[in-house]
Structure 1
Amino acid sequence: MMRNIALMQSRVTALGATLRPHVKTSKCIEVGRLQRDAGARGITVSTLKEADAFFAAGFDDITYAVGIAPQKLDRVLALRRAGCRLTVLVDSLAGAQAVVDKGRTDQHAFDVLIEVDTDGHRSGVGPDDDLLIDIGEILRQGGATLAGVLTHAGSSYGLSTPAALQAMAEQERAGCVRAATRLRAAGLPCPVVSVGSTPTALSAQSLDGVTEVRAGVYVFFDLVMANVGVCAPQDIALSVLTTVIGHQPDKGWAITDAGWMAMSRDRGTQAQQRDYGYGAVCDAAGTLLDDLVVSGANQEHGIVARRDGTADPDIVRRFPVGTRLRILPNHACATATQFDAYHVRDADGTTQVWHRFHGW
């Protein structure tokens, strides 16, 4: 984990931008502190629960990178009046108007970013769309301050070559910078130009015009990221410790006590070049057993089997009942959220317990 944190921080710093890590992956104060200590400035959250918890722990510069629902503005206002520099996100006239109306009613100016769609993946306004300027015009009517633009190249998760990733990183950068340039040309402020996903952050060759980068899953990495090509399975810092509880010798299966309730139902590698089932299998020390995957899962049972589908005649001897294994996750965010805490192992073998939180 510490290597992963240092890798991302050094790369973003070298490209001249600020790193604002996304804490939705860890949802853990101790992890956030390590990222801050490494040089991160501010954090990104996906829920107001994260904003509440991190602000209470001393993090006061927070971007809520999900389009703001009007019903949540009271919570946002309470955090801001308590001293949290919480920035919200809009990508529609209705959303912008709701923020402005709330700000006027409560005599407060919310900091607002406009979400820009640079890859057709999810939310946002096209960088060349007239709607971008229209939203900016609403935000300068009072009750809000236009803080800048934000984009997320989520389609990078579907790529797998350095050339494609570099091209997507440049598309993300150029589109967001173009949106900022258009706002400024219209006489609207745009101090923040925020981009980011783990694949593009680790692939960008230039961040000219960008002020900050947001990325989250890099802190642990996962099998989807390994298939994308921005890490190796050995770089994955998160694993689920499980125990062999039985066998199906004829089928070549070892049965464990970690099913989809432990690993999550996320099968993100299924559509990639290497399908890891419900997770990759390591021994208790973390050494990858590359011939095995968790091929199937019930609620509390996992099936460890050969990746190629053939039965392992030696499965009982290899993994007697009581054997501990570590399972690497397809999607670190989804697997981590199944648990209340991390058991954190240092290089010298000592273990600490770091709690994480849930909810919205």
Structure 2
Amino acid sequence: MQLNELETPVLVLDRTRMDRNIARLRERLAPFGVALRPHVKTNKSADVARRLGPPGTPITVSTLKEAEYFLDHGWTDILYAVGIVPSKLPHVERLARRGARLTLILDNAKAAAATHAYALDHGLRLPVLIEIDTDGHRSGVKPEDPVLLDIAARLSGREGEGAWAAGVLTHAGDSYNCRSTEAIVAMAEQERAGAVRAAQRLREAGHAAPVVSVGSTPTAHFARSLDGVTEVRAGVFVFFDLVMNGLGVCRTDDIALSVLCTVIGHQEEKGWLITDAGWMAMSRDRGTARQPVDQGYGLVCDLEGKPLQDLIMVDANQEHGIIRHRADPAATPMLPVGTLLRILPNHACATAAQHGAYAVVAADTGVEAHWPRFGGW
């Protein structure tokens, strides 16, 4: 089957680019001697995850549904990298009883006490990472905050019983707001140093804390030192996207994900091409709007995946996409109705989440497979 035989819109995955992206990060991390624990929230697909490593490879998930799905497909070493709450502990227990070696994270004493009490009451052994805030972006405690040791004290189980302080985790999400390679390098060092310092404080207080987990796709690609780090997490590196391109982390021809759509009409006086891929196909993510080059809802390519000069998806309705020249509507080529285009996404995670499968190609327009993916919680 060829791409031009598919009913649009379709999520297209270029396997050749994806495999190249995976190899690139593995090769970059190899000299540092750290483990890669890829974040599979981006792909939500066992077929994609197998390109990262066989079942048994350590992975990171963002929902317990992801943990359940990947456990069903043979992955057991799973880090659930969203703060745990007591209401989810029965689900954690069910996964553990089925053989998942699940690591949890949290950033407050209440959750720590509840997790430890539940683990003791139910005979579970649960490693817990304390989330560290190294950039003010989201959750976590500051590396020098006294509450860090209070949280660890609530995780008073030894490694063999209850919930225990297995180490620290941080995510430099603010790296997505950097405006230069130098800024990403600095953010990577800030991320590393903060996590290592927090782990040092835990060890000085008598906690084992063997794990120091850091990671974001930008910092993973530009870190100059990972001293003291045991594992790196990243997810979007598998596909890349326009936000990563805007940060200088990848080129447009590294982006492995696109949405195939069809021109269904024109508004010539406005310089518009209308397609059948709106925000339900692309998502509402406008991450590049904060970058020097705003790519609208996505960068327009031809059927072979080559960018068309200065054509972007400037607006979106639920099922309609609007394409025009980024600077001059009069320069928009009025491509015939029926023309197939591929749109590179701003945010691969968000765009992929709109679809139930990947149409897999490799260097041409021949579809070699359809790989299912899942969503929800």
| Range of TM-score over shorter length | over 0.9
**1:350: Cα distance to partner?**
4.2
Find the aligned partners of 2:324 and 2:226 in 1 and give their Cα distance. 44
Q: Could you say which residue in structure 2 is the equivalent of 1:14?
A: 31
Note the C-alpha offset of 1:44. Answer: 0.1
Alpha-carbon shift at residue 122 of structure 1 (Å): 0.3
Structure 2 residue matching 1:229: 3-state secondary structure: coil
Partner residue of 1:65? Answer: 81
**Range with bigger deviation, 17-26 or 3-12:** 3-12
Conserved 8 A contact 1:223-1:331: yes
TM-aligned CA deviation for residue 50 of structure 1: 0.4
Query: How many corresponding residue pairs?
Result: 356
- Correspondences of 1:54-203 after superposition (within 5 Å): 54-141=70-157, 143-203=162-222
Aligned to 2:352: 336
Deviation digits for residues 256-283 of structure 1 (CA, Å, limit 9, x no counterpart): 0001110001111111111011100000
| Residue of 214, 219, 223 corresponding to 2:238 | 219
Which amino acid in structure 2 is aligned with residue 35 of structure 1? L
Offset of residue 15 of structure 1: 1.6
Letter in 1 for 2:312: V
Amino acid corresponding to residue 363 of structure 2 in structure 1: A
State TM-score, norm by structure 1.
Answer: 0.96
Match of 2:51 among 34, 47, 63: 34
- Whole-Å Cα distance in 2 between the matches of residues 61 and 162 of structure 1? 33
Q: CA RMSD in A?
A: 1.3
Structure-2 separation of matches of 1:307 and 1:181: 50
SS in 1 for 2:81: strand
8 Å contact from structure 1 (residues 21, 40) kept in 2: no
User: Kindly, what percent of the aligned residue pairs are identical?
Assistant: 60
**Residues 302 and 308, structure 2, Cα contact 8 Å, conserved in 1:** yes
1:254 is the counterpart of 2:254: no
Are the counterparts in 1 of residues 133 and 139 from structure 2 also a CA contact under 8 Å?
Answer: yes
The residue aligned with 1:352 is 369
* Aligned equivalents of 1:35, 1:290: Cα separation in 2: 33
Alpha-carbon distance in 2 for matches of 1:272, 1:347 = 29
Gaps of 5+ in 1: none
Q: Distance in 2 between matches of 1:3 and 1:40?
A: 22
Structure-1 separation of matches of 2:111 and 2:52: 32
> Which ranges of 4 or more aligned residues in structure 1 deviate by more than 4 Å?
none
Q: Is the 8 A contact 2:246 2:293 kept in 1?
A: yes
1:358 shift after superposition: 1.0
C-alpha distance in 2, partners of 1:250/1:195? 51
- Taking the aligned partners of 2:213 and 2:97, their CA distance within structure 1 comes to 24
**Which letter does structure 1 place at the counterpart of 2:131?**
E
Superposition deviation, residue 227 in structure 1: 0.6
State the secondary structure of the residue aligned to 1:189: coil
The answer to whether structure 1 residue 43 and structure 2 residue 59 are counterparts is yes
Partners of 1:82 and 1:269 lie apart in 2 by 42
Matched with 2:287 is 268
- The C-alpha deviation readout for 1:275-312, integer Å capped at 9, x for no partner, is 01110000000001131100111111111100114322
Q: Secondary structure at the match of 1:321?
A: coil
TM-score normalised according to structure 2 size: 0.92
In terms of mean alpha carbon deviation, does 106-115 or 348-357 score higher? 348-357
Pairwise CA distance, 1:40: 9.2
Partner SS, residue 82 of structure 2: strand
Conserved 8 A contact 1:45-1:64: yes
CA distance in 1, matches of 2:80, 2:309: 39
Question: 1: CA distance between counterparts of 2:140 and 2:309?
Answer: 40
| 1:140 to partner: Cα distance | 1.3
Q: Secondary structure at the match of 1:128?
A: coil
Equivalents in 1 of 2:261, 2:90: separation in Å?
43
Which one has more relative contact order, counting CA pairs under 8 Å at least 6 apart? 2
Determine helix, strand or coil for the equivalent of 1:89: strand
Q: Secondary structure at the match of 1:202?
A: helix
In the alignment, does 2:297 pair up with 1:281? no
Cα distance in 1 for partners of 2:19, 2:274 equals 32
Instruction: Say yes or no: does 1:295 pair with 2:314.
Output: yes
Q: Which stretch shows the higher mean deviation, 253-262 or 6-15?
A: 6-15
Partner of 2:12: none
Secondary structure at the aligned position of 2:28 is classed as helix
Q: Within 1, Cα distance between the matches of 2:177 and 2:327?
A: 24
Q: Separation in 1 of the partners of 2:240 and 2:131?
A: 25
Q: Is the 8 A contact 1:19 1:40 kept in 2?
A: no
Q: 1:2 aligns with which of 14, 19, 23?
A: 19
Q: Distance in 2 between the 1:70 and 1:8 partners?
A: 36
Q: CA deviation at 1:252?
A: 1.3
Consecutive unaligned residues of structure 2, counting only runs of 5 or more, are 1-17
